[in-house]
């Protein structure tokens, strides 16, 4: 099955930063849009959805973006919660949060730009044109 734009964007994010081990994109209604790498299974998807829900619960009324970094003993989880979707990244322990958030924002901006271009794309009516008969 062909990878979606979001999956390609998350794979690019993993290429962008070797510190990021896994990434996921969750819709505002809590459904998983895309995840990378391929080993991101159902259990991890459920945890990503839970993290996104907790992040949304922390957002005050009227907030446009909430950034959360959760450092634990063996690594860290980073969440950017926006109006449309949330991005979750899993990293190692010794990372610079500012850099991770910068890379995440870069990919989210690209995704927003791609979505805007897709929305602006005008459907061109297909018109039949005469083709020369073969032979």
Residues 33 and 5: beta-carbon distance below 8 Å: no
Nearest CA to 69 among 32, 28, 20? Answer: 20
DSSP-assigned beta bridge partners for residue 24: 35, 88
Decide whether 69 or 110 has the Cβ nearer to other proteins: 69
Report the nearest approach of other proteins to the CB of residue 45 (Å).
10
Place of tokens 């897709």: 118
Decide whether 37 or 113 has the Cβ nearer to other proteins: 37
Q: Could you say whether residue 109 binds other proteins (CB under 8 A)? A: no
Decide whether 64 or 127 has the Cβ nearer to other proteins: 64
**Beta carbons within 8 Å of 45's beta carbon, 6+ residues apart:** 24, 32, 35
Place of tokens 């690594």: 75
Sketch the per residue contact string, 38 through 77, with other proteins: x for CB under 8 A, - otherwise.
xxxx-xx--xx-xx--x--xxxx--xxxxxxxxxxxxxxx
* Among residues 4, 93, 99, 116, the one that binds other proteins under rule CB under 8 A: 93
């Amino acid at each position: 099955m062909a990878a979606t734009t979001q999956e390609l964007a998350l794979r690019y994010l993993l290429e962008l930063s070797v510190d990021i081990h896994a990434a996921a994109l969750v819709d505002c209604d809590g459904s998983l849009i895309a995840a990378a790498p391929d080993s991101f299974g159902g259990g991890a998807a459920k945890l990503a959805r839970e993290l996104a829900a907790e992040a949304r619960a922390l957002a005050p009324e009227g907030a446009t973006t909430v950034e959360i970094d959760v450092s634990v003993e063996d690594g860290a989880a980073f969440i950017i919660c926006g109006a449309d979707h949330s991005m979750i990244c899993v990293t190692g322990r010794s990372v610079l949060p500012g850099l991770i958030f910068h890379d995440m924002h870069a990919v989210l901006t690209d995704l927003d730009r791609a979505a805007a271009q897709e929305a602006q794309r005008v459907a061109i009516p297909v018109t039949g044109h005469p083709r020369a008969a073969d032979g």
